């Protein structure tokens, strides 16, 4: 709105609009400030309440339809983005045994020297842990609450220790297996038990949260330590394995790479 200063009756200066209407008298006492009775009406160009949904928007995430639109600058610098690889390519899916060297059958004697089976962090990529799955085969499971394998009165002395090491050194014990029922108490899906044939088979899984990662190039790992003799004939153990399932986490250099060419993400 154009404004102009005009001299009015009495020699005072007045602030007027383009039509000559006096908006206020300018004090001529030397300070040249606008008198307090000046009146202005300014119409906003944008209805903020309609645009934002409120005159005082709340903080936090919103649905796209309730958010203020933004645009990426044409010269936007690199924005690192991490996404789960399975959304891009199945090549980065991980499924492998926990191993002691090249051996993966946990039917070993760990009573004197514990035998450790491990899946370690990758050298270059973070790995999101999804599941640790045990497959246990024996002649006939005992469900008395006091036996391991087929032996009704053979509780393991030290137990099979299941541990997770993350944050490059923080060790958490997930479970200690001493009897068959301990497999049923793991945090995961209900175990599958087959007793149809000559040998019984049990599949039991430990499930992890979506934020549990083995960080690349660190000492992070998941391991199972056998601390008893599982080769004894009284236990009737045919085999015991633990399989690791996860996703390698890939990184993209920008949001545009995720949308336009996800296969180039490394």
- Residue 52 belongs to a domain: no
- Output the CA torsion sign for 101, 102, 107, 109: negative
Q: Evaluate whether 205 touches 135 at the Cβ level (below 8 Å).
A: no
> How many domains does the chain contain in total?
2
Same domain for 36 and 112, yes or no, is: no
The pLDDT tens digits along the chain (266 residues) read: 577 777 776 677 777 877 778 777 776 555 555 544 545 555 555 666 666 666 666 776 777 766 767 777 777 777 665 554 444 455 678 899 999 999 999 999 999 999 999 999 999 989 999 999 999 999 888 888 899 998 777 899 999 999 999 987 899 999 999 999 999 988 887 777 877 777 889 999 999 987 889 999 999 999 999 999 999 888 999 999 999 999 888 765 444 444 444 455 55
Residue with tokens 């923080």: 170
- Residue 231 belongs to a domain: yes
Residues sharing a CB contact under 8 Å with residue 105, sequence separation 6 or more, in sequence order: 239, 240, 241
- Residue 47 belongs to a domain: no
Same domain for 109 and 236, yes or no, is: yes
Return the bridge partners of 16, or none. 4, 22
C-alpha span between 97 and 130 (Å, rounded): 14
The number of C-alpha atoms within 13 Å of 51 and in the hemisphere containing its C-beta is 7
Which token pair is 215?
């960080």
């Amino acid at each position: 709105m154009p404004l102009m200063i005009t001299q009015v009756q009495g020699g005072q200066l007045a602030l007027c609009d383009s039509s000559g209407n006096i908006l206020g008298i300018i004090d001529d006492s030397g300070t040249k400030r606008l008198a307090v009775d000046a009146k202005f009406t300014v119409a906003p160009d944008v209805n903020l309440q309609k645009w934002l949904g409120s005159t005082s928007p709340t903080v936090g995430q919103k649905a796209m339809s309730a958010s203020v639109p933004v645009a990426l600058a044409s010269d936007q610098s690199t924005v690192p983005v991490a996404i789960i690889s399975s959304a891009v390519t199945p090549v980065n899916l991980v499924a492998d045994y926990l191993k002691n060297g090249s051996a993966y059958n946990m039917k070993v004697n760990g009573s004197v020297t514990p035998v450790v089976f491990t899946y370690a962090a990758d050298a270059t990529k973070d790995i999101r842990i999804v599941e640790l799955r045990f497959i246990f085969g024996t002649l006939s499971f005992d469900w008395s609450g006091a036996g391991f394998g087929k032996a009704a009165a053979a509780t393991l002395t030290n137990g099979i220790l299941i541990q997770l090491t993350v944050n490059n050194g923080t060790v958490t014990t997930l479970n200690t297996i001493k009897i068959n029922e301990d497999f049923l108490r793991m945090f995961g899906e209900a175990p599958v038990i087959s007793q149809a044939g000559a040998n019984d088979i049990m599949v039991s899984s430990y499930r992890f949260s979506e934020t549990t990662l083995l960080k690349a190039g660190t000492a992070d790992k998941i391991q199972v330590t056998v601390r008893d003799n599982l080769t004894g004939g009284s236990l009737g153990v045919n085999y015991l394995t633990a399989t690791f399932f996860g996703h390698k986490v890939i990184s993209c250099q920008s949001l545009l790479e995720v949308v336009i060419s996800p296969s180039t993400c490394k």
